[in-house]
């Protein structure tokens, strides 16, 4: 039974990953009107090469986490609205840099492009560390029956280390793609993450045993001494 589930999961990944690469390429290069959009090539390499390694690691060591990350249907109406808004903003944010490249609206310095790609890698690394530490990092806001409070690793520093990594990535994408204007669409997406954090904590305090005590111990959500 487990073997069949594993085969089914692998089949989904074999289908969805190339599809994701193709779709991302279309969203970047079609608006740019050229394949000479060098920032997009670097960004896609930074985005997908680590992604392949992470997916391969999870397939071997934690396929259940991979299954959780593939869930997309939120149970709460408020969360559904937040996700729809976030997806729309992300979609426009990814389209904008290509248009920016075509019409020359921005002049992002090369050093900032490479620094931003390095920050995206750092964000990826933080998310990967979270995955290794917490097998219950579902994409949707939920609490599973056997779920326990994780207090080790990055969770000993802040309560939402994965969101910190994601925010780092969000803040860096527009510059990595050579666009200042795209940032106007990624920043509202980050604000939506804050709302999601509040909703997630409310659910965890209500349904996850020991989470209230954990919040008293680890006081900061994203950045120590700040918030």
Work out the percent of the chain whose per-residue pLDDT is above 70.
Answer: 95
What is the band of 8 on the pLDDT scale with cuts at 50, 70, 90?
Answer: confident
Whether the Cβ atoms of residue 94 and residue 40 lie closer than 8 Å to each other: no
Ordered alpha helix ranges (H), the chain: 2-32, 38-61, 63-69, 77-103, 110-133, 161-176, 183-207, 211-217
Q: Taking Cα atoms as reference points, which of 79, 59, 85, 71 lies closest to residue 3?
A: 59
Q: What is the pLDDT of residue 144?
A: 73
pLDDT at residue 1, rounded to an integer: 43
Read off the pLDDT band of 5 (50, 70, 90): low
Coil, strand, or helix at residue 68? helix
Q: How far apart are CA 51 and CA 1, in angstroms?
A: 27
* pLDDT at residue number 2: 47
Percentage of the chain surpassing pLDDT 90?
Answer: 52
Residue whose token pair is 């920016």? 100
The Cα–Cα gap between 36 and 194 comes to 36
Rounded to the nearest angstrom, the gap between the alpha carbon of residue 224 and the centroid of all alpha carbons in its chain is: 21
pLDDT at 7 over 80: no
Tens digits of residue pLDDT in 163-219: 999 999 999 999 999 999 999 999 998 999 998 898 889 888 888 888 899 999 999
pLDDT recorded at residue 181: 93
| Structure-model confidence comparison of residues 148 and 43, the more confident one | 43
Other Cβ atoms within 10 Å of 19 Cβ, number: 10
What one-character DSSP code corresponds to residue 86? H
Topology (CATH) of 2-217: 1.20.120
Q: Please write down the long-range contacts of 69-73, taking CB distance under 8 Å and 24 or more positions apart.
A: 69/137, 69/138, 69/139, 70/12, 70/139, 71/138, 71/139, 71/140, 72/139, 72/140, 73/140
Q: Which of 223, 147, 129 is nearest to 138 (CA)?
A: 147
pLDDT of residue 177: 97
Q: Which residue has the higher pLDDT, 141 or 46?
A: 46
pLDDT higher than 60, residue 3: no
Tell me what pLDDT residue 72 has.
67
Give the tens place of pLDDT for each residue, 56-111. Answer: 888 888 888 888 777 767 777 787 888 889 889 999 999 999 999 999 999 999 99
Asked whether the whole model's pTM tops 0.85, one would answer yes
């Amino acid at each position: 039974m487990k073997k069949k589930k594993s085969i089914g999961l692998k089949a989904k990944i074999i289908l969805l990953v190339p599809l994701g690469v193709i779709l991302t390429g279309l969203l970047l290069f079609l608006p740019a009107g050229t394949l000479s959009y060098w920032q997009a090539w670097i960004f896609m390499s930074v985005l997908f090469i680590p992604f392949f390694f992470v997916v391969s690691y999870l397939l071997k060591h934690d396929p259940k986490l991979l299954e959780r990350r593939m869930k997309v249907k939120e149970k709460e109406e408020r969360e559904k609205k937040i996700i729809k808004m976030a997806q729309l903003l992300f979609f426009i944010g990814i389209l904008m840099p290509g248009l920016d490249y075509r019409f020359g609206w921005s002049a992002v310095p090369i050093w900032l492009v490479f620094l931003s790609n390095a920050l995206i890698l750092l964000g990826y690394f933080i998310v990967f560390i979270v995955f290794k530490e917490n097998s219950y990092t579902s994409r949707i806001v939920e609490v599973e029956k056997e779920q326990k409070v994780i207090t080790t690793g990055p969770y000993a520093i802040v309560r939402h280390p994965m969101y910190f990594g994601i925010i780092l990535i969000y803040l860096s994408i527009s510059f990595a793609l050579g666009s200042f204007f795209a940032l106007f669409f990624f920043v509202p997406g980050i604000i939506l993450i804050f709302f999601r954090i509040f909703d997630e904590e409310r659910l965890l305090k209500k349904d996850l045993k020991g989470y209230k005590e954990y919040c008293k111990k680890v006081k900061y959500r994203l950045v120590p001494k700040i918030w």
